[in-house]
Amino acid sequence: MSAPLGFVVSLREDGFVSEPKLHITRRRLPHWLLEGSTYFVTFRTARRKLDQQEISLVRDRIVSGDPRYYDLLAAVVLPDHVHLLFRPKQGMALSRAMKGIKGTTARELNRRRGTKGKIWQEESFDRIVRSLAELQQKLDYMYGNPVKLGLAKDTDSYLGWYPCRERR
C-alpha cells in the first residue's frame, strides 16, 4: 500500500512495517533519494537556448517516458530550462530516469542541429515533494512560468507545457 505522493510502506515477512530508506548523495548540490517519491526537478541548457521546435521535441520525449519509466504529473520546457514533476517507477533510480531524459533529448537535438557536445548542464536540481500543499505550489509555479517569462499569454496555449490541452 502507498500513501499520497509516493511514500512507500511495505510489510516484511515477519509482519512488521519496513521503513523506506532515504539516501543522500552530493555533488555540487545535495540529492535526497527515496524510492516511491514524487520529485520536482529543474535542469538547464548548457549553452544556447532552445527554439520552439526544440522545445516541442524535448516535451514530447519527456512525455514518451510516461508511464514506462516514470509517472509524469507535469512538465514545462522553457528556452533555457525544464521543470518536471514526476515519480520514477519502482526500481528506477532518479538518476537513471534523468539520464534517460537528458541523454535521449541531447542526442536528438545534436542530430537535428548537426552538432556534438553538451546540450544540458551536468547536474540537475531535485527535491522530494513532501506534501499536497507543496505539490500544488510546484504545479502553480510551473504553470505560471511561461506567462511570467512572456512566452505565452496563457500556459494552456504554450507548446512546452504538459499536460497540454489535447492530452487532457
What does the pLDDT look like over 129-143, one tens digit per residue? 989 999 999 999 999
Q: What is the per-residue pLDDT for 164? A: 52
| pTM of the model as a whole | 0.80
146 is a domain residue: yes
Q: What separation, in Å, do the N-terminal and C-terminal C-alpha atoms of the chain show?
A: 27
Q: What is the pLDDT of residue 10?
A: 46
Tell me if 27 is assigned to some domain: no
Q: Is 8 inside a domain boundary? A: no
Report the distance separating Cα 150 and Cα 128, nearest Å: 29
The CATH number that applies at residue 65 is: 3.30.70.1290
Residue 26: predicted pLDDT:
65
Residue 12 lies in a domain: no
Provide the residue range defining the domain that includes 145. 35-161
Parts of the chain with a pLDDT under 70: 1-20, 22-26, 30-33, 164-168
Model pLDDT, residue 21:
72
Number of domains the chain contains: 1
* Any domain includes 18: no
Note whether residue 126 is domain-resident: yes
In a domain, 67, yes or no: yes
Q: Are strands 81-88 and 70-77 parallel, antiparallel or unpaired?
A: antiparallel
Tell me, what's the pLDDT at 157?
86
**Residue 6: its pLDDT value, please?**
44
pLDDT in tens, 34-67: 778 899 999 999 988 999 999 999 999 999 999 8
Query: Does some domain include residue 24?
Result: no
Q: How far apart are CA 155 and CA 143, in angstroms?
A: 6
